[in-house]
Amino acid sequence: MRMDRRALVTGMGAMLVAAKAPPVAPLPATLVKPPRLRPGDVVGLIEPAGFTDDMFDLDLVKETIVAMGLVPRPAPHLAARHGYLAGTDKERAADVNAMFADPQVRAVFAVRGGWGCARILPLLDFATIRANPKLLIGFSDITALHMAFAARAGFTTIHGPNASSSWGRFSWDGFRAVAFDGAMPTFANPVGNEDRLVPRAGRIRTFHPGKASGRLLGGNLTVLAALMGTGWLPDFSGAVLFIEDIGEAPYRIDRMLTQLALGGVLGRLAGVVFGQCTDCGASGPSYGGFTLSEVLQQHFEPLGIPVFQGAQFGHVANQFSLPVGVRAEMDADAGTIRLLESAVA
């Protein structure tokens, strides 16, 4: 007997939405705002995950920080290497702890992502980190630090370009507005200049219309899924979830979204913004499985909350600087994210 596909998808989504979640850390009613950046500020450079094997690349990172009008302070183990990690777990954790303990350091940039941030979470000195709120900037594997800080430190961090990112005008202007100016911008995809009757760059797809407001929480989907059930995630109740990924086949995206659903995360959200999923397409001309769009539709439409795909953050050259933990309003029809409070003091 042929089963109606939409009924099957809706039934599956409703079942997953009803799933219960393990205990998680509630966000404080009022987040502490780290100090805003000023020209001449000293900022720390850390590699809490993967290593950089070319010192020329690190020179470029330092020059990028200088071009921002800031003074780079490399962590003691910045050039270390331990297998595919930038030093041992103790060394990488010590660098994070040292930067938050240093009174001269006003913010901390992750040089790159990779893998390894989750390994150092038990070694972080959260008493010292909480006592010294500073902007932590980075994305990809840095998601583990963003989520742990949201759960246990209680202050804003920024999901934005890593220090080794390209930092084009779009990325720099957005970061400066949030971190230096304390502005409350509306993030919208840049307008493309393609020679097409109907431009394709920067397009969004709305899965469920409407507006929603809540705390901005999220980051890399793979990292979020890996942290489920560990106690290192904050409470997502009423949050606007933003997620992105790279190099994941549709079935793996399906698996990770299912994990978030079964863990009770998706069912507690106010809204969802799915950013860029770079190289996440189905493979081969004869591919017969679900496409990424179909997977997202299956998980998001049954939620009945505003959801859109295509926002400009993730593993792309130009991206938003999204303050983690601040209140924001998303508009699934317009494809925008509007900050409702400043990320910095």
Closest of 164, 75, 161 to residue 120, by C-alpha: 75
CA distance linking residue 84 with residue 81, whole number of Å: 7
The answer to whether 197 touches 216, Cβ cutoff 8 Å, is: no
Per annotation, catalytic residue among 47, 91, 140, 248: 140
Closest of 99, 56, 60, 61 to residue 77, by C-alpha: 99
- Which two tokens mark 12? 């599956």
Reply yes or no on whether 140 is catalytic. yes
Per annotation, catalytic residue among 77, 159, 208, 315: 315
User: What are the distances in angstroms from CA 192 to CA 175, 188, 202, 204, 273?
Assistant: 20, 12, 6, 12, 20
CA distance linking residue 47 with residue 173, whole number of Å: 24
The answer to whether 251 touches 259, Cβ cutoff 8 Å, is: no
Reply yes or no on whether 244 is catalytic. yes
Per annotation, catalytic residue among 91, 244, 248, 329: 244
DSSP 57: H
Handedness of CA 62, 153, 184, 338 (dihedral sign): positive
Closest of 214, 224, 223 to residue 31, by C-alpha: 214
Catalytic residues: 140, 244, 315
